[in-house]
A and B are shown apart, each in its own frame.
Chain A
Amino acid sequence: MTAALFVMIGLGLFLGLVLGFAALKFKVEGDPLVDQIDAILPQTQCGQCGYPGCKPYATAIAAGDADINQCPPGGEAGVKMLADLLGVEPKPLNAEHGVPKPKSVAVIDENICIGCTLCIQACPVDAILGAAKQMHTVITAECTGCELCVAPCPVDCITMEPLKEDIPHWKWRYPVIPIQVQVAA
Protein backbone atom coordinates (compact mmCIF):
# COMPACT_ATOMS: atom_id res chain seq x y z
CA MET A 1 0.00 0.00 0.00
CA THR A 2 2.72 2.43 0.95
CA ALA A 3 4.66 1.37 -2.11
CA ALA A 4 1.70 2.26 -4.27
CA LEU A 5 1.42 5.60 -2.52
CA PHE A 6 5.08 6.37 -3.05
CA VAL A 7 4.90 5.35 -6.69
CA MET A 8 2.01 7.64 -7.43
CA ILE A 9 3.44 10.56 -5.47
CA GLY A 10 6.79 10.09 -7.17
CA LEU A 11 5.20 10.01 -10.59
CA GLY A 12 3.19 13.11 -9.80
CA LEU A 13 6.22 15.01 -8.57
CA PHE A 14 8.33 14.05 -11.56
CA LEU A 15 5.68 14.99 -14.10
CA GLY A 16 4.99 18.22 -12.20
CA LEU A 17 8.65 19.16 -12.45
CA VAL A 18 8.82 18.42 -16.19
CA LEU A 19 5.65 20.34 -16.93
CA GLY A 20 6.65 23.25 -14.77
CA PHE A 21 9.89 23.52 -16.66
CA ALA A 22 8.04 23.28 -19.97
CA ALA A 23 5.59 25.98 -18.91
CA LEU A 24 8.50 28.37 -18.41
CA LYS A 25 10.35 27.32 -21.51
CA PHE A 26 7.36 27.48 -23.90
CA LYS A 27 5.65 30.51 -22.47
CA VAL A 28 3.36 32.18 -25.03
CA GLU A 29 3.12 35.94 -25.13
CA GLY A 30 0.48 37.84 -27.01
CA ASP A 31 -1.97 36.25 -29.34
CA PRO A 32 -0.97 36.22 -33.00
CA LEU A 33 -4.37 34.73 -33.75
CA VAL A 34 -6.01 38.15 -33.37
CA ASP A 35 -4.24 39.50 -36.44
CA GLN A 36 -5.23 36.49 -38.48
CA ILE A 37 -8.87 36.92 -37.50
CA ASP A 38 -8.66 40.65 -38.09
CA ALA A 39 -7.34 39.99 -41.59
CA ILE A 40 -10.56 38.16 -42.45
CA LEU A 41 -12.91 40.80 -41.07
CA PRO A 42 -14.10 43.33 -43.67
CA GLN A 43 -12.82 46.37 -41.74
CA THR A 44 -16.01 48.35 -42.13
CA GLN A 45 -15.55 49.29 -38.46
CA CYS A 46 -19.33 49.46 -38.30
CA GLY A 47 -19.70 48.04 -34.83
CA GLN A 48 -22.68 45.87 -35.71
CA CYS A 49 -20.97 42.98 -33.98
CA GLY A 50 -21.32 44.79 -30.68
CA TYR A 51 -17.67 45.72 -30.44
CA PRO A 52 -16.28 49.18 -31.21
CA GLY A 53 -14.44 47.99 -34.33
CA CYS A 54 -13.06 45.07 -36.23
CA LYS A 55 -9.92 44.64 -34.15
CA PRO A 56 -11.80 44.53 -30.84
CA TYR A 57 -14.16 41.95 -32.33
CA ALA A 58 -11.18 39.92 -33.53
CA THR A 59 -9.72 40.06 -30.05
CA ALA A 60 -13.03 38.92 -28.60
CA ILE A 61 -13.24 35.99 -31.02
CA ALA A 62 -9.69 34.94 -30.23
CA ALA A 63 -10.48 35.08 -26.52
CA GLY A 64 -13.61 33.03 -27.08
CA ASP A 65 -15.90 35.83 -25.89
CA ALA A 66 -17.64 36.44 -29.20
CA ASP A 67 -19.11 34.08 -31.74
CA ILE A 68 -17.96 34.03 -35.35
CA ASN A 69 -21.37 34.90 -36.80
CA GLN A 70 -21.75 38.50 -35.66
CA CYS A 71 -20.42 40.31 -38.71
CA PRO A 72 -23.11 41.07 -41.31
CA PRO A 73 -20.80 42.95 -43.72
CA GLY A 74 -18.53 39.89 -43.87
CA GLY A 75 -21.52 37.79 -44.83
CA GLU A 76 -21.74 34.02 -44.89
CA ALA A 77 -18.44 33.90 -46.78
CA GLY A 78 -16.73 35.69 -43.91
CA VAL A 79 -18.23 33.31 -41.37
CA LYS A 80 -17.01 30.39 -43.43
CA MET A 81 -13.47 31.76 -43.59
CA LEU A 82 -13.44 32.32 -39.85
CA ALA A 83 -14.77 28.81 -39.31
CA ASP A 84 -12.01 27.43 -41.54
CA LEU A 85 -9.34 29.34 -39.68
CA LEU A 86 -10.58 28.30 -36.27
CA GLY A 87 -11.55 24.77 -37.22
CA VAL A 88 -15.16 25.06 -36.13
CA GLU A 89 -18.41 24.44 -37.95
CA PRO A 90 -19.69 27.43 -39.91
CA LYS A 91 -23.04 28.73 -38.72
CA PRO A 92 -25.60 31.13 -40.16
CA LEU A 93 -25.26 34.82 -39.38
CA ASN A 94 -26.82 35.95 -36.15
CA ALA A 95 -29.72 38.17 -37.23
CA GLU A 96 -29.49 40.12 -33.97
CA HIS A 97 -26.48 41.89 -35.38
CA GLY A 98 -28.16 42.79 -38.64
CA VAL A 99 -28.38 41.29 -42.08
CA PRO A 100 -25.93 41.61 -44.96
CA LYS A 101 -26.75 44.45 -47.35
CA PRO A 102 -25.38 45.26 -50.77
CA LYS A 103 -22.22 47.31 -50.46
CA SER A 104 -23.20 50.94 -50.17
CA VAL A 105 -21.44 54.22 -49.68
CA ALA A 106 -22.55 57.30 -47.81
CA VAL A 107 -23.53 60.27 -49.93
CA ILE A 108 -23.89 63.76 -48.47
CA ASP A 109 -26.52 65.99 -50.02
CA GLU A 110 -24.34 69.03 -50.40
CA ASN A 111 -27.30 71.42 -50.64
CA ILE A 112 -28.53 70.51 -47.20
CA CYS A 113 -25.24 70.01 -45.35
CA ILE A 114 -24.67 72.70 -42.75
CA GLY A 115 -21.06 71.82 -42.07
CA CYS A 116 -21.44 70.69 -38.47
CA THR A 117 -18.54 68.16 -38.61
CA LEU A 118 -20.52 65.62 -36.58
CA CYS A 119 -20.22 63.07 -39.36
CA ILE A 120 -16.50 63.68 -39.63
CA GLN A 121 -16.11 62.77 -35.99
CA ALA A 122 -18.21 59.67 -36.45
CA CYS A 123 -16.39 58.33 -39.47
CA PRO A 124 -14.07 55.52 -38.35
CA VAL A 125 -11.82 55.74 -41.38
CA ASP A 126 -11.61 59.51 -41.91
CA ALA A 127 -13.36 59.22 -45.23
CA ILE A 128 -15.27 62.49 -44.93
CA LEU A 129 -13.62 65.71 -46.02
CA GLY A 130 -14.64 69.11 -44.76
CA ALA A 131 -14.29 71.61 -41.94
CA ALA A 132 -16.60 73.53 -39.63
CA LYS A 133 -19.21 75.57 -41.50
CA GLN A 134 -17.95 74.12 -44.74
CA MET A 135 -19.69 71.63 -46.92
CA HIS A 136 -18.60 68.02 -46.36
CA THR A 137 -17.91 65.37 -48.96
CA VAL A 138 -17.49 61.62 -48.67
CA ILE A 139 -14.44 60.08 -50.30
CA THR A 140 -16.30 57.27 -52.04
CA ALA A 141 -13.24 55.08 -52.54
CA GLU A 142 -12.52 55.05 -48.82
CA CYS A 143 -16.04 54.83 -47.45
CA THR A 144 -16.64 51.40 -45.92
CA GLY A 145 -20.40 51.78 -45.83
CA CYS A 146 -20.57 51.48 -42.04
CA GLU A 147 -23.52 53.92 -41.74
CA LEU A 148 -22.05 55.40 -38.56
CA CYS A 149 -22.27 58.89 -40.04
CA VAL A 150 -25.97 58.64 -40.87
CA ALA A 151 -27.35 58.87 -37.34
CA PRO A 152 -25.32 61.84 -36.04
CA CYS A 153 -26.30 64.16 -38.92
CA PRO A 154 -28.66 66.79 -37.52
CA VAL A 155 -30.22 67.59 -40.89
CA ASP A 156 -30.45 64.03 -42.26
CA CYS A 157 -28.48 64.91 -45.33
CA ILE A 158 -26.55 61.63 -45.52
CA THR A 159 -28.00 58.72 -47.42
CA MET A 160 -26.56 55.28 -48.09
CA GLU A 161 -26.49 54.53 -51.78
CA PRO A 162 -25.77 51.03 -53.06
CA LEU A 163 -22.76 50.92 -55.35
CA LYS A 164 -23.89 50.74 -58.95
CA GLU A 165 -22.41 47.94 -60.99
CA ASP A 166 -20.30 49.18 -63.86
CA ILE A 167 -18.24 47.38 -66.45
CA PRO A 168 -14.91 47.34 -64.58
CA HIS A 169 -16.66 45.96 -61.49
CA TRP A 170 -19.02 43.62 -63.26
CA LYS A 171 -18.92 39.95 -62.25
CA TRP A 172 -19.82 36.79 -64.13
CA ARG A 173 -22.68 35.07 -62.40
CA TYR A 174 -22.73 31.50 -61.19
CA PRO A 175 -24.01 29.39 -64.08
CA VAL A 176 -27.62 28.43 -63.67
CA ILE A 177 -27.89 24.70 -63.31
CA PRO A 178 -31.22 23.17 -64.18
CA ILE A 179 -30.68 19.97 -62.19
CA GLN A 180 -29.73 21.69 -58.96
CA VAL A 181 -32.95 20.99 -57.08
CA GLN A 182 -31.66 21.81 -53.64
CA VAL A 183 -33.48 20.03 -50.86
CA ALA A 184 -34.10 22.42 -48.02
CA ALA A 185 -31.70 21.80 -45.18
Chain B
Amino acid sequence: MFQSYLLILLGTVFVNNIVLVKILGLCPFMGVSKKLEASIAMGAATAFVLTIGSGTSYLINEYLLGTDLFYLRTLSFIVVIAGVVQFTEMVIEKTSPVLYKVLGIYLPLITTNCAVLGIPLLNVQAKHGFVDSLLFGFGGSVGFSLVLILFASMRERMEAADIPVVFRGAAIAMVTAGLMSLAFMGFAGLIK
Protein backbone atom coordinates (compact mmCIF):
# COMPACT_ATOMS: atom_id res chain seq x y z
CA MET B 1 0.00 0.00 0.00
CA PHE B 2 2.57 2.49 1.20
CA GLN B 3 4.96 1.34 -1.50
CA SER B 4 2.43 1.95 -4.22
CA TYR B 5 1.78 5.47 -2.92
CA LEU B 6 5.51 6.12 -2.93
CA LEU B 7 5.77 4.84 -6.47
CA ILE B 8 2.95 7.12 -7.63
CA LEU B 9 4.70 10.04 -6.02
CA LEU B 10 8.19 9.27 -7.36
CA GLY B 11 6.75 8.39 -10.72
CA THR B 12 4.92 11.66 -11.14
CA VAL B 13 7.77 13.76 -9.75
CA PHE B 14 10.65 12.29 -11.75
CA VAL B 15 9.89 9.58 -14.24
CA ASN B 16 6.74 11.06 -15.72
CA ASN B 17 7.48 14.64 -14.86
CA ILE B 18 4.52 16.66 -15.92
CA VAL B 19 6.57 19.38 -17.58
CA LEU B 20 9.68 17.73 -18.91
CA VAL B 21 8.26 14.37 -19.90
CA LYS B 22 4.54 14.96 -20.40
CA ILE B 23 5.21 18.49 -21.72
CA LEU B 24 2.22 19.98 -19.91
CA GLY B 25 2.08 23.38 -18.24
CA LEU B 26 4.76 25.00 -20.36
CA CYS B 27 3.14 28.43 -20.20
CA PRO B 28 3.98 29.23 -16.56
CA PHE B 29 7.14 27.14 -16.88
CA MET B 30 8.48 29.59 -19.43
CA GLY B 31 6.73 32.63 -18.01
CA VAL B 32 7.48 32.58 -14.30
CA SER B 33 11.00 31.20 -14.30
CA LYS B 34 13.00 34.38 -14.59
CA LYS B 35 13.27 34.85 -10.87
CA LEU B 36 13.85 32.19 -8.28
CA GLU B 37 11.51 33.67 -5.67
CA ALA B 38 8.69 34.09 -8.13
CA SER B 39 9.10 30.52 -9.31
CA ILE B 40 8.97 29.20 -5.76
CA ALA B 41 5.76 31.13 -5.18
CA MET B 42 4.32 29.97 -8.47
CA GLY B 43 5.23 26.41 -7.60
CA ALA B 44 3.48 26.71 -4.25
CA ALA B 45 0.38 28.31 -5.75
CA THR B 46 0.17 25.68 -8.48
CA ALA B 47 0.74 22.90 -5.97
CA PHE B 48 -2.15 24.20 -3.90
CA VAL B 49 -4.48 24.53 -6.86
CA LEU B 50 -3.48 21.19 -8.35
CA THR B 51 -3.89 19.19 -5.18
CA ILE B 52 -7.22 20.72 -4.24
CA GLY B 53 -8.31 20.60 -7.87
CA SER B 54 -7.51 16.90 -8.21
CA GLY B 55 -9.37 16.06 -5.03
CA THR B 56 -12.50 18.06 -5.80
CA SER B 57 -12.49 16.94 -9.40
CA TYR B 58 -12.44 13.36 -8.23
CA LEU B 59 -15.37 14.00 -5.90
CA ILE B 60 -17.36 15.78 -8.58
CA ASN B 61 -16.63 13.12 -11.14
CA GLU B 62 -17.43 10.28 -8.78
CA TYR B 63 -20.48 11.57 -6.91
CA LEU B 64 -21.96 14.39 -8.94
CA LEU B 65 -21.44 13.38 -12.53
CA GLY B 66 -21.23 9.63 -12.34
CA THR B 67 -21.41 7.89 -15.67
CA ASP B 68 -24.49 9.70 -16.93
CA LEU B 69 -23.14 13.19 -17.04
CA PHE B 70 -19.60 12.30 -18.20
CA TYR B 71 -19.93 14.91 -20.95
CA LEU B 72 -19.90 17.61 -18.27
CA ARG B 73 -16.53 16.43 -16.99
CA THR B 74 -14.23 18.94 -18.68
CA LEU B 75 -16.67 21.78 -18.17
CA SER B 76 -17.17 21.23 -14.47
CA PHE B 77 -13.47 20.60 -13.87
CA ILE B 78 -12.69 23.95 -15.43
CA VAL B 79 -15.28 25.68 -13.28
CA VAL B 80 -13.91 24.16 -10.10
CA ILE B 81 -10.32 24.93 -11.03
CA ALA B 82 -11.23 28.51 -11.89
CA GLY B 83 -12.86 28.86 -8.49
CA VAL B 84 -9.83 27.51 -6.65
CA VAL B 85 -7.52 29.76 -8.64
CA GLN B 86 -9.64 32.80 -7.91
CA PHE B 87 -9.51 31.95 -4.23
CA THR B 88 -5.72 31.55 -4.33
CA GLU B 89 -5.39 34.85 -6.12
CA MET B 90 -7.29 36.67 -3.40
CA VAL B 91 -5.18 35.11 -0.69
CA ILE B 92 -1.94 36.05 -2.42
CA GLU B 93 -3.05 39.60 -3.14
CA LYS B 94 -3.82 40.02 0.52
CA THR B 95 -0.69 38.37 1.90
CA SER B 96 1.96 39.44 -0.59
CA PRO B 97 1.20 42.32 -2.95
CA VAL B 98 4.65 42.22 -4.53
CA LEU B 99 4.29 38.54 -5.26
CA TYR B 100 0.88 39.29 -6.68
CA LYS B 101 2.42 41.84 -9.00
CA VAL B 102 5.38 39.62 -9.85
CA LEU B 103 3.23 36.64 -10.74
CA GLY B 104 1.05 39.06 -12.66
CA ILE B 105 -1.00 37.53 -15.41
CA TYR B 106 0.38 34.06 -14.70
CA LEU B 107 -1.57 33.80 -11.48
CA PRO B 108 -5.06 33.82 -13.04
CA LEU B 109 -3.56 31.87 -15.90
CA ILE B 110 -3.07 28.90 -13.57
CA THR B 111 -6.66 28.25 -14.61
CA THR B 112 -5.56 27.61 -18.15
CA ASN B 113 -2.41 25.77 -17.12
CA CYS B 114 -3.00 22.55 -19.02
CA ALA B 115 -1.26 20.63 -16.28
CA VAL B 116 -3.96 21.67 -13.86
CA LEU B 117 -6.71 20.38 -16.08
CA GLY B 118 -4.59 17.54 -17.41
CA ILE B 119 -3.97 15.88 -14.09
CA PRO B 120 -7.64 15.50 -13.08
CA LEU B 121 -8.38 14.13 -16.53
CA LEU B 122 -5.44 11.74 -16.32
CA ASN B 123 -6.75 10.70 -12.91
CA VAL B 124 -10.08 9.77 -14.42
CA GLN B 125 -8.36 7.98 -17.25
CA ALA B 126 -6.18 5.98 -14.87
CA LYS B 127 -9.22 5.23 -12.68
CA HIS B 128 -7.44 6.50 -9.58
CA GLY B 129 -9.22 6.42 -6.24
CA PHE B 130 -9.54 9.49 -4.03
CA VAL B 131 -6.21 9.11 -2.25
CA ASP B 132 -4.45 8.15 -5.46
CA SER B 133 -5.95 11.18 -7.16
CA LEU B 134 -4.78 13.48 -4.42
CA LEU B 135 -1.32 11.93 -4.49
CA PHE B 136 -1.18 12.08 -8.24
CA GLY B 137 -2.15 15.74 -8.16
CA PHE B 138 0.31 16.48 -5.39
CA GLY B 139 3.11 14.53 -7.05
CA GLY B 140 2.45 16.25 -10.34
CA SER B 141 2.57 19.66 -8.71
CA VAL B 142 5.75 18.79 -6.81
CA GLY B 143 7.30 17.72 -10.10
CA PHE B 144 6.11 20.95 -11.66
CA SER B 145 7.47 23.08 -8.81
CA LEU B 146 10.74 21.17 -8.75
CA VAL B 147 11.59 21.69 -12.40
CA LEU B 148 10.25 25.25 -12.29
CA ILE B 149 12.60 26.11 -9.43
CA LEU B 150 15.55 24.33 -11.03
CA PHE B 151 14.82 26.04 -14.31
CA ALA B 152 14.60 29.43 -12.62
CA SER B 153 17.91 28.91 -10.83
CA MET B 154 19.53 28.08 -14.16
CA ARG B 155 17.97 31.07 -15.89
CA GLU B 156 19.10 33.43 -13.16
CA ARG B 157 22.62 32.21 -13.75
CA MET B 158 22.32 32.45 -17.52
CA GLU B 159 21.16 36.05 -17.18
CA ALA B 160 24.80 37.13 -17.09
CA ALA B 161 26.01 34.74 -19.79
CA ASP B 162 27.21 36.04 -23.12
CA ILE B 163 24.42 34.39 -25.06
CA PRO B 164 24.16 35.24 -28.78
CA VAL B 165 21.76 38.14 -29.13
CA VAL B 166 19.21 36.29 -31.23
CA PHE B 167 18.99 33.53 -28.63
CA ARG B 168 18.54 35.71 -25.56
CA GLY B 169 15.38 35.38 -23.53
CA ALA B 170 12.74 32.87 -24.53
CA ALA B 171 14.85 31.17 -27.20
CA ILE B 172 17.64 30.01 -24.94
CA ALA B 173 15.06 29.19 -22.27
CA MET B 174 13.39 26.84 -24.74
CA VAL B 175 16.74 25.24 -25.55
CA THR B 176 17.47 24.83 -21.86
CA ALA B 177 14.05 23.33 -21.22
CA GLY B 178 14.76 20.89 -24.03
CA LEU B 179 18.10 19.89 -22.56
CA MET B 180 16.51 19.47 -19.13
CA SER B 181 13.94 17.26 -20.76
CA LEU B 182 16.78 15.30 -22.31
CA ALA B 183 18.34 14.86 -18.88
CA PHE B 184 15.04 13.67 -17.41
CA MET B 185 14.89 11.01 -20.10
CA GLY B 186 17.49 9.30 -17.98
CA PHE B 187 14.76 8.42 -15.49
CA ALA B 188 12.91 6.48 -18.17
CA GLY B 189 12.24 2.92 -17.18
CA LEU B 190 13.06 3.48 -13.50
CA ILE B 191 9.44 2.92 -12.53
CA LYS B 192 7.26 1.00 -14.87
* Chain A residues near B (Cβ < 8 Å): 3-4, 7-8, 11-12, 15, 18-19, 22-23, 26-28, 31-33, 36, 84-88, 183-185
> How far is B34's CA from A23's CA once the two chains are assembled, in angstroms?
30
Q: What are 24 A-B pairs with beta-carbon distances under 8 A?
A: A4-B69, A7-B65, A7-B69, A7-B76, A8-B76, A11-B80, A12-B79, A15-B82, A19-B86, A19-B90, A26-B94, A28-B94, A28-B97, A33-B97, A33-B101, A85-B101, A85-B102, A86-B101, A87-B34, A87-B35, A87-B38, A87-B104, A88-B104, A184-B165
B115 → A minimal CB distance (Å): 21
B60-75: contact bitstring with A at CB < 8 Å (1 yes, 0 no)?
Answer: 1000110011001001
Q: Which residues of B contact A12 (CB under 8 A)?
A: 79
Q: Which residues of A contact B98 (CB under 8 A)?
A: 32-33, 36, 85
Q: Which residues of A contact B91 (CB under 8 A)?
A: 22, 26
Q: Which residues of B contact A84 (CB under 8 A)?
A: 35
> How far is B174's CA from A98's CA once the two chains are assembled, in angstroms?
37
Out of B72, B79, B101, B165, name the residue touching A87 (CB < 8 Å): B101
In chain B, residues 3-48, which have Cβ atoms closer than 8 Å to a Cβ of chain A?
A: 34-35, 38
Number of interface residues of B (CB under 8 A): 29
A16 → B minimal CB distance (Å): 9
A107 → B minimal CB distance (Å): 40
Across the two chains, which residue of chain B brings its CB closest to A14? B83
> How far is B164's CA from A41's CA once the two chains are assembled, in angstroms?
32
> How far is B102's CA from A26's CA once the two chains are assembled, in angstroms?
19
Across the two chains, which residue of chain A brings its CB closest to B104? A87
Q: Is the CB of A19 within 8 A of B76?
A: no
B90 → A minimal CB distance (Å): 4
Q: Which residues of A contact B72 (CB under 8 A)?
A: 4, 7-8
Additional pairs, 12, CB under 8 Å, beyond known A28-B94, A85-B98: A4-B72, A7-B65, A11-B64, A18-B83, A22-B90, A23-B90, A31-B97, A33-B101, A36-B98, A86-B104, A87-B101, A87-B102
Out of A3, A36, A184, name the residue touching B69 (CB < 8 Å): A3
B30 → A minimal CB distance (Å): 13
Tell whether B50 is near chain A: CB-to-CB under 8 Å. Answer: no
* With known contacts A8-B72, A8-B75, A23-B90, A185–B165 Cβ distance under 8 A: yes
> How far is B104's CA from A22's CA once the two chains are assembled, in angstroms?
20
Q: Is the CB of B93 within 8 A of A26?
A: yes
**Residue with the greatest number of chain B CB neighbours at <10 A, chosen from A15, A27, A85, A185:** A15
Q: Which residues of B contact A85 (CB under 8 A)?
A: 98, 101-102
> How far is B38's CA from A86's CA once the two chains are assembled, in angstroms?
11
Across the two chains, which residue of chain A brings its CB closest to B60? A11
Tell whether B87 is near chain A: CB-to-CB under 8 Å. Answer: yes
Tell whether B103 is near chain A: CB-to-CB under 8 Å. Answer: yes
> How far is B88's CA from A22's CA once the two chains are assembled, in angstroms?
9
Across the two chains, which residue of chain B brings its CB closest to A184? B165
> How far is B66's CA from A3's CA once the two chains are assembled, in angstroms?
11
A120 → B minimal CB distance (Å): 38
* With known contacts A8-B72, A15-B79, A22–B103 Cβ distance under 8 A: no
B160 → A minimal CB distance (Å): 13
Out of A3, A26, A32, A86, name the residue touching B68 (CB < 8 Å): A3
Across the two chains, which residue of chain B brings its CB closest to A7? B64
Q: Which residues of B contact A86 (CB under 8 A)?
A: 101-102, 104
B87 → A minimal CB distance (Å): 5
